[in-house]
Chain A
């Protein structure tokens, strides 16, 4: 097995392991073979959400194993969000103390995080952490008083909170401190900064924020306030020597971002995602595709086929534009997912996305893919993965059989 870098060798070893067959007598054999292979896209990722439901370390490590079997090479760790803050921060220990579902049992210690990063590295998988702001931050509030915007009902605070408060200096001090730590903890060059679904209602209700809007001449355009926050955040991250990935709203809302920003396309409307891919790449940014690959959106039947049929470069654009599509990610959001159903919901469906990102664009015959994916699913069962069936049928050795 020859490879330019150790990562290629890892992929080649995986291929080799899949070539091994077993005959009727139980003897392992391998056919004489010659294979030259390389991935079509460099960024082939899987997103896990450990905020909507805590995922025990073991579940994450198992997922990394199966990612390696599927030649995924990026683990996008959407580690915190509104419902819970399981990340144990050295700089701000109160964040998880107050924000985790249970600060004793539903947290990732510094050790846990390093375990994940190293386990992934040995499998050729980069870990890109996402600390999504300024929205999706409710769980940050209890451990960081004054961070979130107090919402108002008329003249008085309503008692509820909204996105991060963009008008306070303390906000930027806090964010600086946190990302200083995050930048050292996670070795990858890129951090995912989120920036999606910022609800302006709370900002609009707060009189101090309204005053700030007037001062800055933003008028009634709260997108400008969002941009104000994001730009300062991006400067902080840059000064820490990291690159960043952001959800598409940051681009859609015309925030000024560095040219080497990667835009993560996830929405199917109002702009169809292929159009968004065209717009993002036309503006000179690199793009990641996730919109058609939200694996948490289950439905009856063989939905892996729809995921497989996606063609990431199916938009009108120059070759330079097409080169800016660096890959994509299958996303398993956690609203209805935890360790009880993670593996069957992920596998083998995510395999369809993995092949789409690795293999040549010409590899798209569904019948052929079905046979190979069904066979691969039985292999996964043999490796102890709780991968669910594609359709009627059987494997030699069933799960729990």
Chain B
């Protein structure tokens, strides 16, 4: 609650995070007159966010993002009242996260020694974010999207076969070996202590089954487990073991929608991230209908650039436009604007993300929307300053 009168302005909030948002609002009320004096009009504002989870996804695997660009972006997020940085830190292409227990992962998996986040770098990001009221949720996406992990961790990935012979290439994490789970147990122990947030994102998207299918040992395992030829069951088998590992460290987890779609057994406080564009409203109904918390990303893939004022289509998304009860709607706790990194690095991150993400930010914070174009162009000029 912000009151601006003479001689003082008073900002009241239940928590320090509310105070941060209020300070941002106050900063936006300040304007300059023709003589260069700064003014604030007498005001009284009562504000609170509509959704609790308002996130930005950054991808530092497809392209390394220097620390400075991440920090600049955290500033911009704070200007837009975003409160979650979903750090998609590693993926197929590179492994920039320097692990304390497994230094080989980045030694062999990063693009180069200059393309690494040291433990100090990671702590810097986390603290910089915290001071701006932004949670950092790391994503270590498995079992797919893990090519770069195999460089520094032998036997982690499944060897693909052509008939009887290994082809020399590798697929997703190998779900049938004990060593896989030994590794994951130790690895996620580190992650759980490095990242203080209550949640870790475990990925689980786009697992290609071809390599598993080709591997004779995997096929043998499928038979033994009675999975038949349903590799979704193998995927769920793997995921469930990872979820259990992570739970044992008292962390909650977020997963991409496939994990839910493929019927893995999830703890009730799992957060499912809906990202597939096709009929996402239906997916939101299913996820919340099954009692799980959901986050919406599907309509907000900001890496999908196109010519013109595309911010309008991001702005016009109504997250609660899906068939469901009051109770279900409450389970949609927010959303994320995603900037995947295939075509993005520090040279174009800022202009590609802002102010388009601002449209998402307002959609997630505000209940009553109006005059968006005028306010967004003013906000854009403000961010330039």
B308 at the interface (CB under 8 A from A): yes
A399 at the interface (CB under 8 A from B): yes
Interface-lining segment among A56-64, A160-168, A293-301? A293-301
Residues on the B chain within 8 Å of A398, using CB: 64, 66, 114-115, 345-346
Q: Which of A325-384 contact B (CB under 8 A)?
A: 336, 340-341, 343-345, 381
B307 near A400: Cβ-Cβ < 8 Å: no
B303 near A300: Cβ-Cβ < 8 Å: yes
Residues on the A chain within 8 Å of B112, using CB: 394, 396
Which of A341, A394, A399 counts the most chain B CB atoms within 10 A?
A394
A281 at the interface (CB under 8 A from B): no
Q: Give Cα A391 to B341, complex, Å.
A: 9
B114 near A396: Cβ-Cβ < 8 Å: yes
A297 near B307: Cβ-Cβ < 8 Å: yes
Q: Which of B318-360 contact A (CB under 8 A)?
A: 341-348, 350-352
A387 at the interface (CB under 8 A from B): yes
Which single member of A301, A302, A394 contacts B111 (CB below 8 Å)?
A394
B304 near A381: Cβ-Cβ < 8 Å: no
Q: Give Cα A336 to B309, complex, Å.
A: 8
A401 near B308: Cβ-Cβ < 8 Å: no
Q: Give Cα A300 to B308, complex, Å.
A: 13
Residues on the B chain within 8 Å of A386, using CB: 347-348
B148 CB, min distance to chain A CBs, angstroms: 11
B345 near A388: Cβ-Cβ < 8 Å: yes
Please give me the residue from chain A that is nearest to B91 by CB atom. A392
Residues on the A chain within 8 Å of B346, using CB: 398-401
A309 CB, min distance to chain B CBs, angstroms: 19
Q: What does the 1/0 interface line of B23-44 toward A look like (CB < 8 Å)?
A: 0000000000000000000000
B347 near A387: Cβ-Cβ < 8 Å: yes
A393 at the interface (CB under 8 A from B): yes
Q: Which of B180-218 contact A (CB under 8 A)?
A: none
Q: Give Cα A396 to B305, complex, Å.
A: 27
Q: Give Cα A343 to B309, complex, Å.
A: 20
Q: A394-B115, A399-B347 are in contact. Are A298 and B341 (CB under 8 A)?
A: no
A392 near B305: Cβ-Cβ < 8 Å: no
B342 near A391: Cβ-Cβ < 8 Å: yes
Q: Give Cα A313 to B68, complex, Å.
A: 46
Q: How many residues of B contact A (CB 8 A)?
A: 31
Which single member of B94, B306, B309, B345 contacts A298 (CB below 8 Å)?
B306
Residues on the B chain within 8 Å of A390, using CB: 343
A388 near B348: Cβ-Cβ < 8 Å: yes
Please give me the residue from chain B that is nearest to A347 by CB atom. B347
Residues on the A chain within 8 Å of B348, using CB: 341, 344-345, 386, 388-389
A388 near B343: Cβ-Cβ < 8 Å: yes
Q: Give Cα A340 to B115, complex, Å.
A: 25
B62 at the interface (CB under 8 A from A): yes
Q: Which of B75-118 contact A (CB under 8 A)?
A: 93-94, 111-112, 114-115
Residues on the B chain within 8 Å of A381, using CB: 347
B13 CB, min distance to chain A CBs, angstroms: 33
Q: How many residues of A contact B (CB 8 A)?
A: 29
Q: Give Cα A341 to B341, complex, Å.
A: 17
Residues on the A chain within 8 Å of B345, using CB: 388-389, 398-399
A63 CB, min distance to chain B CBs, angstroms: 15
B64 near A300: Cβ-Cβ < 8 Å: no
Residues on the A chain within 8 Å of B307, using CB: 296-299, 336
Q: Give Cα A381 to B66, complex, Å.
A: 14
Q: A297-B307, A388-B343, A394-B115 are in contact. Are A340 and B63 (CB under 8 A)?
A: no
Please give me the residue from chain A that is nearest to B341 by CB atom. A392
Please give me the residue from chain B that is nearest to A297 by CB atom. B307
Which single member of B63, B66, B305 contacts A300 (CB below 8 Å)?
B305
Q: Give Cα A345 to B351, complex, Å.
A: 10
Please give me the residue from chain A that is nearest to B351 by CB atom. A341
Q: Give Cα A391 to B305, complex, Å.
A: 14
B68 near A300: Cβ-Cβ < 8 Å: no
Q: Give Cα A301 to B345, complex, Å.
A: 14
Residues on the A chain within 8 Å of B350, using CB: 340
Q: Which of A162-203 contact B (CB under 8 A)?
A: none
Q: Give Cα A398 to B344, complex, Å.
A: 12
Q: What does the 1/0 interface line of A118-154 toward B look like (CB < 8 Å)?
A: 0000000000000000000000000000000000000
Residues on the A chain within 8 Å of B16, using CB: none
Q: Give Cα A302 to B114, complex, Å.
A: 26
B69 at the interface (CB under 8 A from A): yes
Residues on the B chain within 8 Å of A393, using CB: 63, 93, 111
Residues on the A chain within 8 Å of B303, using CB: 300
A344 near B115: Cβ-Cβ < 8 Å: no
Residues on the B chain within 8 Å of A400, using CB: 66, 68-69, 346
Q: Give Cα A298 to B63, complex, Å.
A: 20
Residues on the A chain within 8 Å of B94, using CB: 394
Residues on the A chain within 8 Å of B351, using CB: 340-341, 344
B120 at the interface (CB under 8 A from A): no
A293 CB, min distance to chain B CBs, angstroms: 14
Q: Give Cα A357 to B93, complex, Å.
A: 34
B305 near A401: Cβ-Cβ < 8 Å: no
A327 CB, min distance to chain B CBs, angstroms: 25
Residues on the A chain within 8 Å of B304, using CB: 300
Residues on the B chain within 8 Å of A302, using CB: 343
Q: A394-B112, A394-B115, A398-B64 are in contact. Are A299 and B306 (CB under 8 A)?
A: yes
Closest 9 CB pairs of A and B: A341-B351, A344-B348, A394-B111, A401-B66, A388-B348, A392-B62, A400-B346, A399-B347, A399-B346
- Would you give 6 A-B contacts (Cβ < 8 Å), ordered by A? A386-B347, A392-B63, A392-B342, A393-B93, A394-B111, A400-B346
Which A residues have a C-beta under 8 Å from some C-beta of B? 296-302, 336, 340-341, 343-345, 381, 386-394, 396-401
Which B residues have a C-beta under 8 Å from some C-beta of A? 62-64, 66, 68-69, 93-94, 111-112, 114-115, 303-309, 341-348, 350-352, 384
